[in-house]
Amino acid sequence: MNFLRRWPGLGLFGLGALSAAGLPPVGAWWVLFITVPLALTLLGEAQARPFWRGAVLGWCLGFGYFLAALHWIGFAFLVDAARDLWMMPIALGGLAAFLALFWAVAALAAVQMAKRGLALWLAAPASFSVLEWLRGHLFTGFPWAVFGQVVDGMGGVAQAAALVGMTGLTLFLWLWPASLLGLRSAAKAERAAAAALLLTLPALYAWGEWRLAQNPTAYQPGIMLRLVQPNISQNDKWREGNARTIYDQLLSLTAAPPSTGQPVTHIIWPESSVPFLIDESEKGRAELARVLQPGQTLLAGAVRRSAPTDDAQYFTSILIINGKAEVLGHYDKWHLVPGGEFLPLAWALEPLGLRKVVSLPESFTAGPGPSTLPVPGAGNAGMSICYEAIFPGAVADPAKRPDWLVNVTNDGWFGKSAGPYQHLAQLRLRAIELGLPAARAANTGISAVIDSFGRVTFASEIGTTGAFDLALPQSTLPPLYSKESDYIPLIVLVLVIGLGVSLKRM
C-alpha cells in the first residue's frame, strides 16, 4: 500500500488493468473485491488535494482498465499490417484515453461528494455507474467492458439482468466491492448498511440459480437452424479473385445434409458473408436457388447498396431470402462501428493518413434503427449486426416485441483474442434482459445459440469451419427490465444516494 500511496497514478493504472481480468474470457470477478476497495482508498486520500487531483487519478484508473479490457482491438490492425499497423497505438491508446475521461469525471464527482460528507464507498459506485451509462449513449455510445459484463462468470447472478439490466448490474458490481470499505466504518449504521448491501450478492445468486432450475430450456417445434461458419481469413475476405472460392464454400456448407435427422428450415450466414452484392447478382442468386430447399429461408449477412449508381449509399445488412432465392426484405445496421465502418471527423483525420479499417471507397450509411421483421416459418425476429448486440434496449424494436433475436457478426478481425468472448457475453445479457432466445452466426466464431435465460446451448470454436444444425429455444414472458428498461436501475441508484444522505445525517 505504501507503493500505491507514493505513486498513486501508476498504482491506479495497474489496479485498473487488473480489474479487466473480471471480464470474459478470464472471468475472475473476485478481483474487483481487491482492486475497487484499493482504488477508492487512493481516491479518498485525494480529498485533501486540489479539486482536479481526483479527476487525474480517476483517469489513470480508467486508462489502465480500458487499455487492458480493449487490447483485442489491436488485432484488427494486424490483418493488413503493412497498411494499418502504425495506426494501432494511436487508435487503441486514443480510445482508452478518451474512455478514461468518463472515469475522470466520475472520480471527480465522487471525491467532491465525499468532501461534503457522503461516504465515498456509496458516492463512487453512484457516480461511476452514471458516467458508464453516459458512455453507452454519448457520441454514438460504446458500452463495451462496463462492470456489469463481469456477471458472465458469476453464475446465477447474471439472471439479475432480467430485473435491472446491464446498467443495474454495473451499479451492483461497483457497489459490492466498495461495500467492503463500508464494513470498516466507525459508524455502526454505516457498517450495517454495507453488510446489507453485500448480502444482496448471495441473495441474487440464489434467486438466479433457482430461476434457472425452474425454467429448463424448451425448444420451438418445427424450426431447425443452420449456423454457417465459413472461417474466412480477413486477409482473404476482400482479396480480388477470392469471391468465387468464398461463395462456393458458403453454398457447400448451406447444402450439406442435415446432421440431426431433422430438415433444416432456416439458414444464417454471418456478417458480410459474400464479397459481392448478392441481391444484384442474377447468377449468384440462381446458384443459390439450386442449393436452397423449398420452404427454407436464408438470413444472409451481406453488403447492399441503395441503387446501382455512382452516388449510391452502402449498407451492411441482413437479407431475408426465400427458397427461390428471392429477397423478401432486409435489415440495415444502424449502429456503425467508429473507425471501422465510418471515420469520425473524417475531414480532420484523413489528411493525417488515418482511415477506416474496412476497405470500401465510401463509409457505410446507417439504417433507420432497430426493427422487428417477419421471417417465414419462424415468427418475428429482432435483428442486429456485429457490435449492435452490445447496446441494451437497442437489439429489438421496443414497440414490437420479436419472438427471437438474430445476430450476425464477423469477429475474424480479432482472432483468438478476448474480443469474441466478450462479444458473445453481451449477447447473453440481451437474451436475459429481453427473455428472448438468440441465434448468432459468426465468420470464424463464436457462432452460438442462447436460450431466453442466457444459457448458451451451443457455441462453436474460434477458427473452425462448419454448418451447425441447432434447435431454436422458446421465448419466455417479458422480464421486468424488458418493460421498464433503465427506469429500474435509476430507482436503485436513487435509493443508493438516498442511503448515503441518510447515513450522513446520522
pLDDT tens digits along 462-494: 989 999 999 999 999 999 999 888 888 888 888
pLDDT at 1: 61
Q: Residue 499's pLDDT is what? A: 84
* Domain ranges, ordered by start, for the chain: 2-214+488-505, 219-475
Active-site pick, 132, 190, 237, 333: 333
Average pLDDT over residues 338-366: 55
Which of 63-77, 121-135, 196-210, 235-249 has the weakest average pLDDT? 235-249
The residue that leads in pLDDT, 334 or 59, is 59
Residue 256 has pLDDT above 90, yes or no: yes
Q: What is the pLDDT of residue 354?
A: 46
pLDDT of residue 492: 85
Q: How many CB atoms within 10 Å of residue 173?
A: 27
Active-site annotation holds for 271: yes
DSSP structural state of residue 400: S
Collapsed DSSP state (helix, strand, coil) of residue 483: helix
For residues 18 and 158, what is the distance between their CA atoms, to the nearest angstrom?
22
* Average pLDDT of the residues in 23-40: 96
Candidate list 271, 341, 388, 433, residue with the active-site label:
271
Indicate the burial class of 502 (C-beta count within 10 angstroms; 0-12, 13-18, 19 or more).
Answer: exposed
Alpha-carbon torsion 11, 12, 16, 19, what sign? Answer: positive
- CATH code of domain 219-475: 3.60.110.10
278-308: per-residue pLDDT in tens?
999 999 999 999 999 999 999 999 999 988 8
Examine the pLDDT at 78 and tell me if it is beyond 80. Answer: no
Question: Is pLDDT of 361 > 60?
Answer: no
pLDDT at 494: 86
- Given the residues 190, 386, 388, 433, the one annotated as active site: 386
Buried b (16+ CB within 10 A) or exposed e, 99-120: bbbbbbbbbbbbbbbbeeebbb
- Distance, in Å, from the CA atom of 194 to the CA atom of 343, rounded to the nearest integer, reads 46
Average pLDDT for 215-238: 89
Other C-beta atoms within 10 Å of 64: how many? 27
Percent of the chain exceeding pLDDT 70 equals: 90
pLDDT tier at 235, thresholds 50, 70, 90: low
333 catalytic? Reply is: yes
- The radius of gyration of the chain's CA atoms, rounded to the nearest angstrom, is 24
Give the C-alpha separation, 335 to 128, whole Å: 24
Asked if pLDDT for residue 336 goes beyond 80, the answer is yes
Looking at the predicted structure, is the pLDDT value of residue 180 above 70?
A: yes
- Assess whether pLDDT exceeds 70 at residue 80: no
Query: Does 341 qualify as catalytic in the annotation?
Result: no
- Residue 323, pLDDT > 60, answer yes
| Predicted local distance difference test score (pLDDT) of residue 73 | 84
Cα 431 to Cα 466: distance, rounded to the nearest angstrom: 24
pLDDT at position 416 over 70: yes
